[in-house]
Amino acid sequence: MPNKPDASLWEGLPLGLEAFRNLVWEQGRSLYRELPWRNIDDPYAVLVSEVMLQQTQVKRVLGYWPRFMALFPTLDALASADTTLVLETWQGLGYNRRALALKRCAEECSERYRGKLPCSREELLALPGIGPATAGGIEAFAFQRPTLYLETNVRTVFLHELFPGEEGVSDKMIEPLVLDSCPTSDPRAWYYALLDYGAHLKATVPNPSRRSKHHSKQSKFEGSRRQKRAELVRVVLAQGKADFGELGAALSCFERDHGRDAVDDALVADILSDLVSEGFLQKEPGGYSVG
């Protein structure tokens, strides 16, 4: 829980704490987005939304979160679900690792915490797929706990309002301000306001996040190894099982259809080896199936 606000943190910044809070509350009220995962007290539902929203636009998640929650309404339901169904439900969201990590998190919670997410930040961070931002989101949105929640839209607001024109601003400079500004009365609404204002800024001004020391441009998906991985997983999901030759031929066909050269066997073998070691696929006599 944040301590008493520290006025010294705000010295020399364009806005003091009270002015900054007033600005964010005002922008948050005018820009508020009604989203199905908001204002709910189910930590698991919040977890699913936070994981889906990692590197994925809200408008895409809107089509997936309700369906995922309908199929896997609890941690126990996700833990006991077939991995194939989980990955099939995730198809189109990208970054399939998130789906596997989410299922592993559910399995661990089912085994260790009687199908519930733990309450402490330390226990949350120890679970698969939960990093500091996701843990902070669960604390703030599900438990109404004043905490540090720093993700790209939140970071955008602090960079835009408190570090205008500065380059290479580190999270270590921002984190104390984020925590100090978080009110004890309604942290959930506070972070909604920051998220909505940040999303608005990213759509209307040159993205302030580019001035973060930690900013890195997302690698191009089209033609990437990541796309090839996703296509191999998709083929296995569609067929149930596929041997090496079938997968190589399917991936080469996919590449040619997109104006690229066919892939060689060495690359296919290397990608399949990664997918097996990471738990996406399993190698069996006669081919590969979902792990």
Q: Which residues have a catalytic role annotated?
A: 50
Residues 6+ apart with CB under 8 A from 174: 150, 155, 158, 159, 163
What is the spatial distance between Cα 98 and Cα 233, in angstroms, rounded to a whole number?
A: 14
The Cα-based distances of 27 to 15, 83, 115, 171 in angstroms read 15, 42, 38, 23
What is the spatial distance between Cα 90 and Cα 67, in angstroms, rounded to a whole number?
A: 10
Give CA angle at 107 (102, 110), nearest 5°. 120
Amino acid letter, residue 226 = R
Q: Which residue has the tokens 């596929």?
A: 242
The length of the chain in residues reads 291
Q: What is the DSSP string of 195-228?
A: HHHHHHHHHHSS-GGGGBTT--PPPP-TTSHHHH
Strands 287-290 and 281-284, by their bridges, are antiparallel
